[in-house]
Each structure stands twice: as C-alpha cells, then as structure tokens.
A and B are shown apart, each in its own frame.
Chain A
C-alpha cells in the first residue's frame, strides 16, 4: 500500500496558546444555554412514550418481512436466494410444491416454512436487494422483542403479518408472461 505523509499544519502564536479556541467553545456553549432557557432546544426524547417513528426516512431498514400482492398471492416462491445471501445466516426456508387445485398452481413453488431469526438479523437489507420476486421487504419495525429465543424467530405467519399487502409490484406470474 502506498503511504502518504501528512504534514502537520503550521500554527502561529495565537493559535499555539489555544486561547482563541477556548473562547470560541465557551461562546458556543453559552449560546446553547441561552436557547435552552428560552425553550428553543429540546435535548431529551421520552422514549418509549415518545417515538421518532413518524420521522423515519423512506429508506429506513427495520425488520424484514414477507408481503402478499393485491391478488392475495404470497409473492415468495422459495428460491432461497435470501437464505444464500444472508450474511449472519438468519434465514431458513423449507420449500414445497403448490398443489394442483390452487389458483396459483402455475407458480409451482412456495415456502412451506420461512423463518428469520431476529437475534441473528443485522438489518442489512441484502435479502430485499437479492429477491427476484419482490417478496421480502425491510419494514420500519425496529423494536423487536421477545421473552425467549424461540419467540425471536419470526415464522411465516408472523412475517406476513408484519409485511402486509404491497401493491404496484411487477406481476410476472400473471397470464401474460
């Protein structure tokens, strides 16, 4: 690796005695005190009574969850790419064949079991990125709690409950391929 020598800045006399910096810092702090007493700054948020939820940005990465589309079809086809990409190996999928009498029998495959171990999950969003079926999304839920390890494993039912219905996705399994 190439090394780069960084030259130290040359300081003049006033800078060397640090007096100007100390005064500048004191002025800043004094300003904050004034604003605090005038009620302009709010320092502490009373979590969990108060939450930041409404201010979470669009790209916030919370708990991963499975979604159904407007036709009521579960989007996941159990391709197991998220299981493969998941860095902490939090996802476990057991695939099964869709029975012939199902209206979506032509999709052929769906997850029999889909489990995400939320103790392992690192909220990286790779599963959402890799999904070829737009089936898994990171939602804004961040307070994932449980009283046992088993409770922290989100099963298929729980994942669809968090995920809900998502519209406006590509419907590649509709009759027109």
Chain B
C-alpha cells in the first residue's frame, strides 16, 4: 500500500463503510482500490491501476451512499454503534473514477449492484463472437470469468451480430480481433500514457465502434506486447504465443529477466519442460507492470539447437562427448602444471551472485589474481531497459570484488596473446562475441575451459566444454542496477546432461578442497551470507518474489519516475 512510504506527506484518513464494515483510507483513494484493499474485489474491464480511468466499461458500478446532511443546529443521526447512518443513492456510481469521501458507504454486493453487473455483462456479450475454443485468451479472459460470476447464463439477443474485422495485422508482434474487443481502451491509454506512441484509437460509433491503428502507422514500439497482457479479452493477442498452448496447461514460475540491468520481474509460463511465454509481473520498485518485447521474446534462445547438452573434451582438432567425471578430471591435470600467475578467469555479469561467489572461491583456491567480467554497455531506452545490459553488474562488483567491470580484461588479453597467461577459465561468456577477442588469441592458450549454455567460438576453441543452465533453468539471486536483490527460480529442467552452474563450480572446487558441505544453491547462498556483510541474515527464501532493496546505487528507472509523478498528481492510483 502507498501509505507505508515514510517520505510521503501525511494524507488525512477517511472513514469509509464497505459492505457494512468501517475502514480507513487515505484521502484520494479510488473507491475500487479501497474495495480491493479490504478484499472486496469489484469486477472491472477498463480500469487499470497504472493507467488513467476513463470509466467507459461500466462494469465497476457499485451502490454508494452518504450520511444525510443535518438541519442547521442538528447532529447527523448515528446508529447503535455510534457510526453515521448512511442514506443510499438510488443510482449506482462507477468505483474506478470516484475517490472515497469521509463517511461514505459502498455496497459491492447489493441487489442493485448485482443487477447492474448482469445488465452490463449482457450488453458486452451481445456482439461478442463464440470464439472461445480458438481464442488464446480463453482461460484467462475477464469476460469469461465475469460472465460466469455475474452474467445471466443465456442470451436474449435474437438479431444479427455486428460484423467487424477479424485477424487484423496491426503490428509485427500483435494481432487484432475487433469482434472480441469490448472497447475498454486500455491499449489506447497504455500507448499514449506509458510509451508515448499514439497509434491506436477508436473509429465509428455506437455498436460499430472499432479499434484501429492510425492510417499509415503500425503498433510496432518495443512495448507493444504489453497491450496483449492488459487486454481483458482476446482482442489483442501475441503473434509469438498465438495457438502455441492453451493457458490452463501452463505452469507459472516467478522469476526475473536477465537481458538488462533492470532485472524485470517476470512470470515464466512453461509446460513439460518447455517455456511457452514470459509475461511481466508487477513490482512497483522495478518494472511496474510492463516489460519490453525484446526481453519478453528472448526466451526462445533457451530452446535453440545450439544448446550444449553434453560435456565435451578436445581430441585433436575436434570435440568428443565425455562423461562429466572425465571432463572434470582434465581440469586439475592441466592447471597443476601451471603457476597461479599463468591462470586467468573470465566470469560473467550474467551469472547469479551464488555462481559469482563460487567463482571467487575457486579463484581464491587457485590463488588466481587475474579475474574479471565482460562489461556490456548500451544505451537506456528511457523506459525500462537499462544502459547496462548485464543483469548482475552490481552483484559482480559486490560479490566478485570487480570494481570496474572490464578493467582487467585488456591485460588478460595481452597476457594471453603474449603467452604469459597459459590457462583461461571462461564462465558464461563468449569472448569473441562479447569482448571482441580474435579466435587466434584463444588458440595460443595451453588450456581453455568454457562453461556455457550455447555453442560458440570460445567453446569451439576450448579444451574442455561444460554445458550449463540457462536463466529459466536455475535458482539464484541477482542485484539490479538500482541495488535491489532479486531471485531467479527454475521453471524447467536443464537439457540433456547439462548441469546447473553452481553444481559445476562446486565440483571444480571439490577437486581442490574435498567435501565442502555444498549440496544445493541455498548452501552457496548461506556461505555467501556469512562471508559478505551485505548479505548477512539473508537467505534465498527471504528474498521473496518482490526482492529486497539491498544497496543504494543512485540509478533510477525512468519509467518508474514518470509513474511516481503521475501518482503524485492523482492521475493514477495503483
């Protein structure tokens, strides 16, 4: 709730009666939000907590009342409990666009409210097609849900339904079905208010009202797929997810996105070990309710044919599949012949804190000083995508102790090319692509270990290749650009013989230390919490699905700043 923020100026609390019970809400709270906070959900279509309220769907009609105004010199009548007696208004009001007032009464379950909802549902369903068996929204459709909860169960409409365009191509990632649209205008408001791309609008009038894109334009901004998320019906659907899987089969796993430093909170939808879609998850400190399309569709690389599924060792010019035991055995054998100064480690800021901590331990055991991660800087898009395209740079700085990511990389490369560094351990990075190393310099190494998810030139040049887990296959924590500690959860199992990164790193250190009491990723976190003061008292469990503000980096997320402004102005309430 908003009123827990200590920086917020004190807002007077108002007494409000909801379904016979008295509660207190800060002034300016929308009636619909007040009802939601006390667990009396009011059905709605057009209202969205992050968007302005046009009040055009009429689904959230509730009965409202105020105490009668007393005559001069008289007191307002009180009931037996000393609370004001409420006089109910004969006509309902919409809960989404009205704010609560002192001593207001709201009935979300009265006869009048029920009749209103049934009437609104009947009107909405008049022109709605019987598309549910082929509609991707079926199963998570508000129209279906409220039709069951509040509809009348039969249609009295005997005339012909209005025909509108179906299967309209309005953008590269979004498909429009105008017959299913209920004119809630959420998508229009999203494009206008959140992503400043006014391409959608209504044409025609009355029951012929049609959602359309502006002539000559397309809905192609990088946030367009959010319109499919907020569409309460199946009017806007994702081309990528179209007809792939029915939503009731999908298992939802709460995790975070790893394509940039923002660490956008996501829900991974998977079935039988395959990810079908990724949707944003609400977190008002990270991504509000949104995520960019580029990040959303990046999950396809998990299933790429390039995935490494078996450990490999070099035999002559090619690689041969090996057992894990044999692949592991080669590593200490090669490293024991070398001096610590001849070994270097390149880790990745795409690894979780637990993995980075294990890398740090391994480096400590090998006494390796040449240790760095590959920086990945781009430009912020001014919304959610951070300039830093590594999801865990802050974690690398804190856990690995790399103050300036990439500062040692040049000296490691020079060492490799000059021959002073003879062995290189690369975790989760392709040095040719990410750091721009030529393949020839990798060939100068005596020993190269590559731990990666996908086949790449670095792995091709490596002596030992170990297949690891992709982001949707592992549990762990990362720290985003603002310093928030967040948690990844495994949605699907790793492919083939691949193993989780923490497990690989544990086994590598096992060769050097013997048993180390690490049996799971939670054990790694426990060791890390004991070693690094910032993590003291924390566990993966305690991070929760909303994360914990761990550090203060001073970085702000532009979209959230604008959202806070709009909230301060009272334009939105959620």
A and B assemble together: yes
CB distance from B304 to the nearest CB of A (A): 20
Give A95-120 interface residues, CB cut-off 8 Å to B.
95-97, 106-109
A177 & B248 in contact (Cβ 8 Å cutoff): no
A residues adjacent to B (C-beta < 8 A): 77-81, 83-84, 95-97, 106-109, 132-133, 172, 176-177
**A80-B242 in contact given A177-B129, A177-B130 (Cβ < 8 Å):** no
- Asked if A81 and B133 make an inter-chain contact with CB atoms under 8 angstroms apart, the answer reads yes
Contact assessment for A176 and B133 in the assembled complex, using a CB-CB cutoff below 8 Å: no
A108 touching B167 in the complex, CB below 8 Å, given contacts A172-B130, A176-B160: yes
* B134 A79 Cβ-Cβ under 8 A: yes
Q: A80-B249, A106-B166, A108-B167 are in contact. Are A97 and B130 (CB under 8 A)?
A: no
Using known A-B contacts A176-B160, A177-B161, determine if residue A132 contacts B246 with beta carbons closer than 8 Å.
no
Asked if B243 is at the interface (CB within 8 A of a chain A CB), the reply is: yes
Q: Of A77, A83, A177, which is within 8 A of B134 by CB? A: A77
Q: Is the CB of B243 within 8 A of A96?
A: yes
Tell me whether B249 and A84 are in contact (CB under 8 A).
Answer: yes
Contact among A81, A95, A132, A172 for B243, CB-based, below 8 A: A95
How far apart sit A147 and B167, CA to CA, in the bound complex (Å)?
45
Instruction: Give complex CA distance A137, B267 in Å.
Output: 37
In this complex, what residue of A is CB-closest to B244?
A95
CB distance from B28 to the nearest CB of A (A): 45
Name the interface residues of B109-143: CB closer than 8 Å to any CB of A.
129-130, 132-134, 138
Q: How far is the CB of A82 from chain B (nearest CB, A)?
A: 11
Q: Are A108 and B248 in contact (CB under 8 A)?
A: no
Rounded to whole Å, the gap between the CB of B566 and the closest CB of chain A is 38
| Nearest CB of chain B from residue A95's CB, rounded to whole Å | 5
> When the two chains form their complex, are residues B130 and A133 in contact, meaning their CB atoms are under 8 A apart?
no
B248 near A84 (CB under 8 angstroms)? yes
Shortest Cβ distance from B138 into A: residue: A79
Q: Is the CB of A132 within 8 A of B133?
A: yes
Q: Which of B129, B161, B166, B243 contacts A109 (CB 8 A)?
A: B243
Inter-chain CA distance A108–B138, complex, in Å, is 15
Contact with A along B217-251 (1 / 0, CB 8 A): 00000000000000000000000001110101100
Known contacts A79-B246, A109-B243; A132 and B132 CB within 8 A of each other: yes
Provide the bound-state CA to CA distance between A95 and B242, in Å. 10
Q: Which of B151-185 contact A (CB under 8 A)?
A: 160-161, 166-167
**Which residue of chain A is the closest to B130 with respect to CB atoms?**
A172
Size bin of chain B's contact surface: 10 to 19
Whether A80 touches B134, Cβ cut-off 8 Å, given contacts A108-B167, A177-B129, A177-B161, is: no
Closest to A100 in B: B167
Smallest distance from the beta carbon of A107 to chain B beta carbons, Å?
7
How distant is B430 from chain A, measured CB to nearest CB, in Å? Answer: 34
Is A97 within 8 A of B246, CB to CB?
A: no
| Complex CA distance for A126 and B465, rounded to whole angstroms | 50
B474 to chain A, nearest CB (A): 28
- Taking the closest CB of chain B, its distance from the CB of A59, in whole angstroms, is 25
Q: List 13 A-B contacts (CB under 8 A).
A: A77-B134, A78-B134, A79-B134, A79-B246, A83-B249, A84-B246, A95-B243, A97-B242, A107-B134, A108-B167, A109-B243, A172-B130, A177-B160
- Contacting residues, chain B, for A172 (C-beta < 8 A): 130
Separation of A132 and B166 alpha carbons in the complex (Å)? 21
A residues within 8 A CB of B132? 79, 132
Pick the contact of B246: A80, A106, A177 (CB < 8 A).
A80
Chain B's closest residue to A84 (CB) is B248
Roughly how many angstroms separate A77 CA and B131 CA in the complex, as a whole number?
10
Taking the closest CB of chain A, its distance from the CB of B533, in whole angstroms, is 51
6 A-B pairs with least C-beta separation? A79-B133, A109-B134, A95-B243, A80-B246, A132-B133, A77-B134
Decide: A97 and B160 in contact? CB cutoff 8 A.
no
B136 to chain A, nearest CB (A): 9
A172's nearest neighbour on chain B, judged by CB, is: B130
In the complex, which of the residues B133, B243, B246 contacts A133, with contact meaning CB atoms closer than 8 Å? B133
Q: How far is the CB of A117 from chain B (nearest CB, A)?
A: 15
Contacts of B242 in A (CB 8 A): 97
Within 8 Å CB of A97, what residues of B?
242-243
Looking at the assembled complex, report how far the CB atom of B490 sits from the nearest CB atom of chain A, in whole angstroms: 24
CB nearest neighbor in B for A106: B166
Given contacts A95-B244, A132-B132, 10 further A-B contacts (CB under 8 A): A79-B134, A79-B138, A79-B246, A96-B243, A97-B242, A106-B166, A107-B134, A108-B134, A108-B166, A133-B133
Residues of A within 8 A of B161 (CB): 177
Q: Which A residues lie within 8 Å of B246 (CB)?
A: 79-80, 84
Chain B residues whose C-beta falls within 8 Å of the C-beta of A108 in the assembled complex: 134, 166-167, 243
Complex Cα gap A48–B166 (Å): 54
Q: Given the complex of chains A and B, what is the CA–CA distance between A97 and B241 in angstroms? A: 12
Q: Cβ of A79: which chain B residues have Cβ within 8 Å of it?
A: 132-134, 138, 246
Give every chain B residue within 8 A of A96 (Cβ-Cβ). 243
Q: In angstroms, how far is the closest chain B Cβ from the Cβ of A50?
A: 43
A78 and B249 form a contact (CB under 8 A): no
In Å, the complex CA distance between A83 and B133 comes to 13
**Which residues on the B side are within 8 Å of A133 (C-beta)?**
133
Complex CA gap A133/B130 in Å reads 11
- State in angstroms the CA–CA spacing of A80 and B245 once bound together: 9
A101: min CB distance to chain B, Å: 14
Residue of B nearest to A177 (CB): B161
In the complex, chain A residues whose CB is within 8 Å of the CB of B160:
176-177
Complex Cα distance, B104 from A177, in Å, reads: 46
Query: How many whole Å from B147's CB to the nearest CB in chain A?
Result: 15
How many Å from the CB of A154 to the closest CB on chain B? 21
Closest to B179 in A: A177
For B46-88 the 0/1 string (1 means CB < 8 A from A) is: 0000000000000000000000000000000000000000000
Most buried by A among B129, B134, B248, B249: B134
Chain A hits for B248, CB < 8 A: 84
